[in-house]
A and B are shown apart, each in its own frame.
Chain A
Amino acid sequence: MSHNQDELFRLVDYSADAAERIGYSNYSYWRSVLQNFLKKKSAVVMAGVFFFLVIFSFIALAISKYDYATLVPESSLAFIEPNSEYWFGTDNLGRDYWCQVWYAAQTSIKLALIVALGECVVGLIIGCLWGYVRVLDRPLTEVYNIINNVPNIIYMTLIALLVGQSFTIMAVAMIAFGWLIMARNVRNLVLMYRDREYNLASRCLGTPVRRVLTKNIFPYLVSVVILRLALSIPGTIALESTLSYLGLGLGLETPSLGVLLRNARNSFLDEPYLLIFPAVIVSLITITFYLVGNAFSDAADPRNHV
């Protein structure tokens, strides 16, 4: 109580500069996302493992003693256990397994990334239209129901028989049916935020639709889109391996996880290394990506930002 009021408060002159500084926050969406993400140490480690594996798949092929393109079946060399000459051993036809496994890992990553990106672009565009444009709601919902009600495997089998089997065809086919889930998620969110008061106000003030979508609604979508991506990449790798295993995916000349395991199905009971190498590498890729995606999606949710 001994304090004099003069010591506690002091008069400040009005300064336009200082007033501006309080009124403006230096919040940046993407910086906050990154900050939030970096706080999670386990996710950062996982991201490191993921990128290391992706980069190493190129290095592995470069330092390999054999080139995939010049492998020749040689029955006398079949089922050689891993040694200094054949780092991952040889398969049932006597071909080096190391370069096949890494090539397959690369094929899987490439396919998954292309499909994820395609799904993301198509799904976002159609999802936004679906949610924002009222007239389109009914027809798009019908299209969704019809495609969703026919087992996907029928489409995939017909495509494999009618169009053919190659990397491009497979990627396009997967995008053509994969955008549905992304579009539905985006649509539900757009629908939820479209008529919130702040958007209503924004529209009344004459903000163009493009700006409402990109600045007001998009930040809410990012976390869901990333979560979908995190699920889509393991999903694509799984679908590719299933289809290739059934003989409906990539041709036998393109090694991929499905093709490798299909070839090894009858041998890996006796030669477990034929299963373990591709299984461990591909699982590491999908698990790390899945966890990183989940963490990133949490970080991207603006509700978790301070």
Chain B
Amino acid sequence: MIKYTIKRLLQSLLTVLVVATIVFLLLRMLPNEYYFTEDQVNKLSEEEKNERLRAAGLLDPIGEQLLRYYGGLVRFDFGDSRRIQTGVPVLKVISERFMVSMRLGVSALLIALAIGIPLGILQAMNKDKIPDHIGTAYTVFINAVPPLVSYSLILVFGAHVLGLPSLYSTRRPGISSILPIACLSLASIAHYALWTRRYMVDEMNKDYIRLARIKGMSNRNIMIRHVLKNAFVPLAQYIPASFLLTISGSLLAERFFSTPGMGPLLTDAISRYDLNVVQGCVVIYATLGVIGVFLGDVLMMIFDPRIRLVGKGETR
């Protein structure tokens, strides 16, 4: 087990490194003019521009830049932000946004779990009856309608009918987070309901459930003690990943409500040529993604003792 964990962690580290390198190289493909603001492009002479680029180390051979970047990574030093918050260390810039995204994301995830899983159970228990059809209609709606449209509908409903603020404001973080959280949890509710229902229906068709029914176990007991327990195992796998990914924030929802979170940070940083911030974000995203998958496997093993994590990276 320990050997496997170490191997798995080393593999994950390699993935993060590869992703970081690719993004680093991709960003170096952007033309150097982006380094300057429009004002500077017009005012500065060629020599001054080159001088500044050289000082920033952007004219060094690409290999040298890459090595310096790796050096920083080892020390968890992502450098300073240039444009987003000039001169502030990237980690600090990110951690501020991180808290906002995390608060919204975790609340949305908890709501999604609290509503989605019971909804899925309700659907599975009343398969092909009215509750099931309502739940299915909901999941179809969420899957088919573009999120931009459903967010807009929620916004109009929330702002008009309930009188909630239509934009996030730092002065009133509580009440103005209601609509973003509602939007974020909308899709996850559908996701959890869909998969809970599917896994439960799969499980209900198995022979041992039929046996339990024959020997006279009550429907309620069968559902709680057998079906739900077994159906929860494959579901548990995704929870850590989605929990960690809440930190990275939702690009659309956060931009839509002007939330100062992680989501808009990435695109802002790319379009404003704040390379250090982009690289910091990407390394964090990749790390969270990799850890999420790993924790998912561990969680699945805890819920189902039959699953053994064996070598070669196989999880089933």
A283 at the interface (CB under 8 A from B): yes
Q: Decide if B15 touches A145 in the complex (CB within 8 Å).
A: yes
Contacts of B103-139 to chain A: CB distance below 8 A:
none
Q: Decide if B152 touches A261 in the complex (CB within 8 Å).
A: yes
**Using an 8 Å CB-CB cutoff, how does the interface string of A141-182 with B read, 1 for contact, 0 for none?**
000011001110111011001100000000000000000000
**Using an 8 Å CB-CB cutoff, how does the interface string of A268-296 with B read, 1 for contact, 0 for none?**
11001001001100110011011100000
Bound-state CA distance A7–B270 (Å) is: 89
Q: How close is B33's CB to chain A, nearest CB, in angstroms? A: 11
- In the complex where A149-B286, A158-B30, A246-B251 touch, is A261 in contact with B148 (Cβ < 8 A)? yes
Write out the residue numbers on chain A whose beta carbons fall within 8 Å of the beta carbon of B255. Answer: 245-246
Q: Decide if B251 touches A287 in the complex (CB within 8 Å).
A: no
- In the complex where A149-B289, A157-B267, A242-B251 touch, is A261 in contact with B26 (Cβ < 8 A)? no
**Using an 8 Å CB-CB cutoff, how does the interface string of B236-252 with A read, 1 for contact, 0 for none?**
00000000000010011
Q: Decide if A286 touches B145 in the complex (CB within 8 Å).
A: yes
- In the complex where A234-B143, A258-B148 touch, is A279 in contact with B153 (Cβ < 8 A)? yes
Write out the residue numbers on chain A whose beta carbons fall within 8 Å of the beta carbon of B19. Answer: 146, 149-150
Give the segment of B1-9, B154-162, B294-302, B303-311 that binds chain A. Answer: B154-162
Contacts of B47-94 to chain A: CB distance below 8 A:
none
Q: Decide if A158 touches B140 in the complex (CB within 8 Å).
A: no
A124 at the interface (CB under 8 A from B): no
Of the candidates B27, B34, B140, B152, the one whose C-beta lies within 8 Å of that of A291 is: B140
A248 at the interface (CB under 8 A from B): yes
Bound-state CA distance A292–B256 (Å) is: 31
Bound-state CA distance A191–B18 (Å) is: 28
A115 at the interface (CB under 8 A from B): no
Q: Decide if A261 touches B149 in the complex (CB within 8 Å).
A: yes
Q: How many residues of B contact A (CB 8 A)?
A: 42
Q: Decide if B30 touches A282 in the complex (CB within 8 Å).
A: no
Q: Decide if A150 touches B149 in the complex (CB within 8 Å).
A: no
**Using an 8 Å CB-CB cutoff, how does the interface string of A232-267 with B read, 1 for contact, 0 for none?**
001001100110011010000000011001000100
- In the complex where A149-B15, A246-B267 touch, is A282 in contact with B149 (Cβ < 8 A)? yes
Q: How close is B255's CB to chain A, nearest CB, in angstroms? A: 6
Known: A272-B160, A275-B156, A290-B140. 15 other contacts (CB 8 A): A146-B19, A149-B15, A149-B19, A149-B289, A150-B23, A151-B285, A157-B266, A238-B148, A246-B251, A257-B148, A261-B148, A279-B152, A283-B145, A286-B144, A289-B144
B40 at the interface (CB under 8 A from A): no
B208 at the interface (CB under 8 A from A): no
Q: How many residues of A contact B (CB 8 A)?
A: 38
Q: Decide if B285 touches A268 in the complex (CB within 8 Å).
A: no
B147 at the interface (CB under 8 A from A): yes
Write out the residue numbers on chain A whose beta carbons fall within 8 Å of the beta carbon of B149. Answer: 241, 257, 261, 278-279, 282-283
**Using an 8 Å CB-CB cutoff, how does the interface string of B220-258 with A read, 1 for contact, 0 for none?**
000000000000000000000000000010011001100
Q: Decide if A287 touches B145 in the complex (CB within 8 Å).
A: yes
Bound-state CA distance A258–B282 (Å) is: 26
Q: How close is B151's CB to chain A, nearest CB, in angstroms? A: 9
Write out the residue numbers on chain B whose beta carbons fall within 8 Å of the beta carbon of A265. Answer: 152, 256
Q: How close is A286's CB to chain B, nearest CB, in angstroms? A: 5
Bound-state CA distance A242–B148 (Å) is: 6
Bound-state CA distance A158–B141 (Å) is: 31
Q: Decide if A257 touches B146 in the complex (CB within 8 Å).
A: yes
Write out the residue numbers on chain A whose beta carbons fall within 8 Å of the beta carbon of B271. Answer: 157, 161
11 contacts between A and B (CB under 8 A): A151-B282, A241-B146, A242-B146, A242-B251, A242-B252, A245-B252, A257-B148, A261-B149, A268-B152, A282-B149, A283-B145
